Amino acid sequence: MRNAERGEGKLGLFVMLLILAAAIFVLVKVVPPRINAYEFKDWMGEYARTDCWNRSPEQMKQDLVAKAHRLNLPLTEKDVTIERRGSTVSIGAKFDMPVDLKVYKLVLHYDFSQQAEHY
């Protein structure tokens, strides 16, 4: 009777290790792009408050796209909107980032907007 009970716990351990490995794989694939996207959002807010006042909208778009490319984000100039009204500037960036999880293609949607006033 004892010999039949000896291996019962190994299947559960194997399943748990597979689940843990899958969770780690998903985290490694999803977390870095999300961190980069939110780093871009923070930078975009700082840019709106400080750096954009002496630049044309085209230069601003180029700056935003260049920063996004340094962070490996799929942003193009057509994904960026810039609007100036008096002393207020509004910057928007909308893009989708595909993440290949081998068995499923996850698409992360981002729609960031920042607004700042210059006094």
Identify the pLDDT of residue 110: 96
Identify which of 90, 91, 87 has the alpha carbon closest to the alpha carbon of residue 119.
Answer: 87
Domain around 88: 2-117
* pLDDT value of position 3: 55
Query: In order along the chain (119 residues), what is the average pLDDT of each group of 10 residues?
Result: 59 90 95 96 92 86 95 94 90 95 94 89
pLDDT number for residue 50 = 86
Q: Note the pLDDT of residue 66.
A: 96
* pLDDT score for 92: 95
Domain count, the chain: 1
CB burial of 33-48 (b: ≥16 within 10 Å; e: otherwise) equals beebbeebeebbbebb
Three-state SS for the chain is CHHHHCCHHHHHHHHHHHHHHHHHHHHHHHHHHHHHHHHHHHHHHHHHHCCHHHCCHHHHHHHHHHHHHHCCCCCCHHHEEEEEECCEEEEEEEEEEEEECCCCEEEEEEEEEEEEECC
